[in-house]
Amino acid sequence: MVKARILVVEDESIVALSIQNRLEALGYGVIANVTSGEAAIQQTAENLPDLVLMDIRLTGRIDGIEAAAQIRNRFHIPVVYLTAYTDEETINRAKLTEPYGYILKPFEPRDLGTAIEIALYKHQMERQRGEREQWLSTTLQSMGDAVITTDSQGLVTYMNPVAEALTGWKQEEALGCDVNQVFRTINEKTRQVVKNPLDVALLEGITVVLENHTLLITKDGSEIPIDDSAAPIKNQNGEIRGAVLVFHEIIERHKLAELLQKTNEELEVRVAESAAQLKQLNEQLQTEIPRRQRLEEELRFIKEKEEELEELKSRLFASISHEYRTPLTTILSSTQLLERYSSQWIEEKKKKHFQRIQTSVEYLTKLVNNVTFLDQAEAGIIDFEPAPIDIESVARELVEEWRASVTNKHVIILECQGCLSNPSLDEKLLKLILKNLFTNAVNFSPQGGQVCLEVQVRQGESEQDGNREIVFCVSDQGIGIPNADLTQVFKAFFRSSNVGVTPGAGLGLTIVQEATRLHGGKILVGSELGKGTSVTLILPWQEEPAICAKGLES
């Protein structure tokens, strides 16, 4: 087996033939023997050898050193000099071409083989390092967070597009600058300069998280609230070679914090007013023990509600901050990339980023609608408009939509039993219930898993004639819900401990419960960890059903 393909460049034919014989004896393949630099470049372009053995003094207009420089720059093929010249001028010229070896004539075959193997190995390692660097550069370019790196002196060595967009600095103008020129921060409240975390990371060799209320001062003087962290870059010996800073803007988080603070202040005023009123009533009714007891119960109830509101506020802030951040970051990065590269990209790549923006906007719209629904439910202002509907038609319509949306990722089954026409239900709320149950079933089921909707009419708990119930059951073969979480699944913004990174705000079952309550129904959840979950919805039949009979369908 030939180890490598080698081009020999030697103007003395006898020497060239001797080198070829030695190489072939060592197991290498010689693609050609040429005598000039021009011929060496031509042979390299035509055959792309693995390595070139290059004499320095050649016939023709260019010598071996000039030919080696062109071969390295144009074809990135390693060159090993094979020459009798050791003068300082020749060696200095040769060094500029970054050769992979320099063998002096005369030489031993073993020395030649060793030099070639070392050169090939070095070239392979350089190619692998270049591929790793390209992979790392592509990864950093695609990140949604801003990234800045420096050398050990704190001079900028890299900025990704997001960092350019946030700081207002282009990478080419920032390279080599002190990072404190590019990344300037102040405290939002005190307006004092915040110590650059990169300086701390370089000095102390530790990871540093930026303090709260930090504003980034952009190149044009704008102020952007950010959150970030910096870490040292160390070599294998633990020596600090530089540092990396990762940061992102938190404008939306600031807006949410201000909104929550305003809401909290309003709640505190309302609570204070309620407490004052209760105190006055308590003083007036001290002699009326029964009424005083009722007032005390009301006070306890208000306190519980306050605690529930506090808990809800905490979960609201944590959940919405997290759920808003990912799509907003996607929208920001895609719009910035489109603005920067739209004129260069093909339509397919631009379409991909527009689709990412559309998906993020749809997700945010759905999240806002869900929160609005719960707010309206809490205020008791949801429109409840029951009317006779054909449940089977509604179920089949939804199942067809689901099948179209999940394509071949899941198996969707519909089973209808009994006469399902003309019960009085709110069709809009019923669809909302079933869509939320189906979304949960699909999101937490493996690809190819089965999701089933069963609808049936059955006799209610009372055996009186006409006392019937409509039963909906959505079941899946997904991850299931831990027993410890089953009692909390209807709480707003609660998510089971095993959902991992699956997207969602924890509002689906809360919405289902509110819509079911408006119908005067009840909801049951059964689950086995690792095997699946079934949610059963039981709604009262409000009108006398039409006379019909249907068997089990799928």
Please give the torsion angle defined by the CA atoms of residues 304, 307, 313 and 314, in that order, rounded to the nearest 10 degrees: -140
Rounded to 5°, angle at Cα 355 from 349 and 361: 145
Domain that holds residue 212: 143-249
SS (H, E, C) 406-439: HCCCCEEEEEEECCCEEEEECHHHHHHHHHHHHH
- CATH number for the domain harbouring residue 119: 3.40.50.2300
Q: Note whether 490 and 508 are within 8 A (CB).
A: no
pLDDT at 465: 42
147-166 average pLDDT score: 89
Residue 549 has pLDDT above 60, yes or no: no
Confidence tier at 316 by pLDDT (50, 70, 90):
low
Q: Note whether 222 and 203 are within 8 A (CB).
A: no
Burial of 514 (0-12, 13-18, 19+ CB in 10 A): buried
Q: What are the distances in angstroms from CA 386 to CA 423, 437, 451, 457?
A: 9, 20, 28, 18
Structure confidence by residue, pLDDT tens digits, 70-90: 998 899 899 998 887 778 888
* Range of weakest confidence among 201-215, 253-267, 405-419, 477-491: 253-267
- Specify the residue for token string 């050398």: 151
- CATH number for the domain harbouring residue 244: 3.30.450.20
Which H or E run includes 180?
helix 179-182
Within a domain: residue 554? no
Q: Are residues 397 and 533 in the same domain?
A: yes
Residue 25 has pLDDT above 70, yes or no: yes
292-313 average pLDDT score: 66
Q: Which residues pair with 325 in a beta bridge?
A: none
On average, the pLDDT of the chain sits at 78
In the chain, % of residues over pLDDT 70: 80
SS (H, E, C) 473-538: EEEECCCCCCHHHHHHCCCCCCCCCCCCCCCCCCCHHHHHHHHHHHCCCEEEEEEECCCEEEEEEE
C-alpha 39/C-alpha 139 separation (Å) is: 41
Q: Of 137, 152, 182, which marks where a domain is finished? A: 137
pLDDT at 288: 67
Residue 548 has pLDDT above 60, yes or no: no
C-alpha 538/C-alpha 10 separation (Å) is: 92
pLDDT at 313: 52
Within a domain: residue 236? yes
Q: Are residues 211 and 314 in the same domain?
A: no
The contacts of residue 189 (CB under 8 Å, 6+ apart) are: 213
Number of structural domains the chain divides into: 4
pLDDT at 155: 92
Q: Are residues 352 and 422 in the same domain?
A: no
Residue 205 has pLDDT above 90, yes or no: no
Q: Are residues 291 and 426 in the same domain?
A: no
Chain-centroid distance, C-alpha 327: 9
Q: Are residues 224 and 281 in the same domain?
A: no
Most confident option among 185-194, 293-302, 497-506:
185-194
Rounded to 5°, angle at Cα 491 from 487 and 496: 65
Structure confidence by residue, pLDDT tens digits, 271-294: 887 777 777 766 776 766 676 677
Structure confidence by residue, pLDDT tens digits, 44-73: 999 999 999 988 888 888 888 898 899 988
Q: Are residues 397 and 428 in the same domain?
A: yes
- CATH number for the domain harbouring residue 302: 1.10.287.130
Q: Of 137, 158, 185, which marks where a domain is finished? A: 137
C-alpha 160/C-alpha 158 separation (Å) is: 7
- Specify the residue for token string 């320095």: 56
Q: Note whether 185 and 161 are within 8 A (CB).
A: no
Q: Are residues 335 and 404 in the same domain?
A: no
C-alpha 148/C-alpha 247 separation (Å) is: 9
C-alpha 359/C-alpha 331 separation (Å) is: 9
Within a domain: residue 548? no
Within a domain: residue 113? yes
pLDDT at 50: 92
pLDDT at 547: 37
Q: Are residues 278 and 326 in the same domain?
A: yes
Structure confidence by residue, pLDDT tens digits, 33-46: 998 889 989 999 99
Confidence tier at 380 by pLDDT (50, 70, 90):
low
Within a domain: residue 546? no
Q: Are residues 310 and 404 in the same domain?
A: no
C-alpha 374/C-alpha 364 separation (Å) is: 16
pLDDT at 528: 84
pLDDT at 412: 82
pLDDT at 321: 52
pLDDT at 554: 31
Within a domain: residue 545? no
Q: Are residues 526 and 400 in the same domain?
A: yes
pLDDT at 156: 92
pLDDT at 143: 63
- What size, in residues, is the chain? 554
C-alpha 117/C-alpha 31 separation (Å) is: 17
The contacts of residue 424 (CB under 8 Å, 6+ apart) are: 386, 387, 388, 389, 542, 543
Q: Of 348, 379, 410, which marks where a domain is finished? A: 379
Q: What are the distances in angstroms from CA 16 to CA 11, 170, 215?
A: 7, 53, 69
- CATH number for the domain harbouring residue 419: 3.30.565.10
pLDDT, greater one: 499 or 156 = 156
Q: What is the largest CA-CA distance in the chain?
A: 126
Within a domain: residue 176? yes
Structure confidence by residue, pLDDT tens digits, 321-371: 555 566 667 777 778 777 777 777 887 877 777 777 776 676 566 666 666
Residue 524 has pLDDT above 60, yes or no: yes
Q: Are residues 457 and 479 in the same domain?
A: yes
Q: Are residues 127 and 152 in the same domain?
A: no
Within a domain: residue 25? yes
pLDDT at 107: 75
Structure confidence by residue, pLDDT tens digits, 455-492: 888 877 655 545 788 898 988 888 888 877 777 777 77
DSSP state of 59: B
C-alpha 184/C-alpha 165 separation (Å) is: 15
Total Cβ atoms within 10 A of residue 231:
17
Confidence tier at 240 by pLDDT (50, 70, 90):
confident
pLDDT at 5: 92
